[in-house]
Amino acid sequence: MSSAGGSGSSSSREVIPLFPLETPLFPGVVLPLQIFEPRYRRLVVDLTSLPEGTERRFGVVAIRQGWEVERVAPAEALFDVGCTAVLRMVAPQRDGGYRVAAVGGERFRLLDVLVPSESSGEHSDEPPYLQALVEWLAEEEAAEEAAGDAGELVGADAAAGIVPDDVVTEVARGSLDLLARNVRDLFARYVADVAVRQGGAPEGLPDDVLDALGPDDLPDDEAAGDVAATAALLREVSDDARGLSYLVASSALLTTDDRQALLAESATRRRLAMESRLLRRELTLLRTLGAVPVPLRQFATPMTSN
């Protein structure tokens, strides 16, 4: 990561509080946290003390290695792409901590991590938590919809400008919808497979998924609530390719490296294409190994359009 060196004068760059976690946060995904460390209690106080109307947000970045980020080089300890978390609820606890709920906001790239000095503390003027100089990452939705990888979608004539732009755009939109439906179906099958292997009931998922399960595959209702919650989320983002891509990225049982690669991808089309490959890989592993590494409730990742 580069040194700050006065580069914060750019409007696309900003210094924000930083909260390292073991996994990435994605836009639109709800993040519940139990705050008990003094430095992060101070962070909550600082955010809630901001003037009314100010967005109360902090940056979430995934930890690449170790937990004591301040004691190692941040460039080695943290991934370089993160997502802001916008506070939506703060509930003080009797022990002085907080229960908070935040929602994933904008993606950013870390340029420099500002480590607090040893003299900083919960009651000092200097914040005791990490801060970071970040640059905001734009989504490529408009550009990819307009271009749509024209050469691949409608052939060489489009690349040569023979096909009208509006035709190229329409084909691009259709291609994105088709890709989103493919990922939605793959994810539904993936959740159903996990439910079956954990003794849950995959009710509430699309009919084609249920049709793919034989009568001997239908187990008891232990995980029915979790599957129903996931099905509800799938319905919620059924017409939102970007929201679907972030739901899958945050909910599927992927490695941190896989999730980080999805977060770093700025184009929904490419993110969905990557998820299609990852879900096919995970389905193959599930059916080959016949085991699930974590409880199904990991899938029920709340999302919001706010």
CATH label of the domain that carries residue 64: 2.30.130.40
How many CB atoms sit inside 10 A of residue 84's CB? 24
pTM over 0.75: yes
For residue 234, is it within any domain? Answer: yes
The pLDDT value recorded for residue 3 is 39
Backbone dihedral angles phi then psi of residue 188, each to the nearest 5 degrees? -60, -45
What domain range includes position 179? Answer: 142-299
Distances in Å between the Cα of 219 and the Cα atoms of 142, 189, 207, 234, 297 are 45, 16, 17, 22, 17
Same domain, 199 and 213: yes
The pLDDT value recorded for residue 115 is 86
For residue 306, is it within any domain? Answer: no
Query: Which of 137, 159, 181 is the C-terminal boundary of a domain?
Result: 137
Same domain, 160 and 119: no
How many CB atoms sit inside 10 A of residue 14's CB? 15
For residue 2, is it within any domain? Answer: no
Same domain, 173 and 270: yes
Query: Which of 137, 172, 204 is the C-terminal boundary of a domain?
Result: 137
Same domain, 206 and 131: no
Same domain, 293 and 147: yes
Helix (H) / strand (E) element for 157: namely helix 156-159
Query: Which of 120, 137, 154 is the C-terminal boundary of a domain?
Result: 137
Same domain, 174 and 116: no
The pLDDT value recorded for residue 64 is 85
Same domain, 295 and 166: yes
Which of 229, 224, 147, 230 has its CA nearest to residue 189? 230
For residue 305, is it within any domain? Answer: no
Same domain, 115 and 209: no
Same domain, 160 and 214: yes
**Is residue 109 classed as helix, strand or coil in its secondary structure?**
strand
Give me the residues of the chain with pLDDT under 50, please. 1-10, 143, 146, 149-165, 167-169, 171, 212-220, 222-223, 295-297, 305-306
For residue 304, is it within any domain? Answer: no
For residue 179, is it within any domain? Answer: yes
The pLDDT value recorded for residue 14 is 94
Same domain, 176 and 265: yes
Same domain, 154 and 281: yes
For residue 217, is it within any domain? Answer: yes
Q: What does DSSP say about strands 131-136 and 98-114: parallel, antiparallel, or unpaired?
A: antiparallel
Report the number of distinct structural domains present in the chain.
Answer: 2
Distances in Å between the Cα of 122 and the Cα atoms of 20, 55, 96, 126 are 18, 22, 12, 9
Which residue, chain included where needed, has tokens 């640059």? 135
For residue 233, is it within any domain? Answer: yes
Across all residues in the chain, what is the average pLDDT?
76
Same domain, 54 and 170: no
Helix (H) / strand (E) element for 284: namely helix 268-289
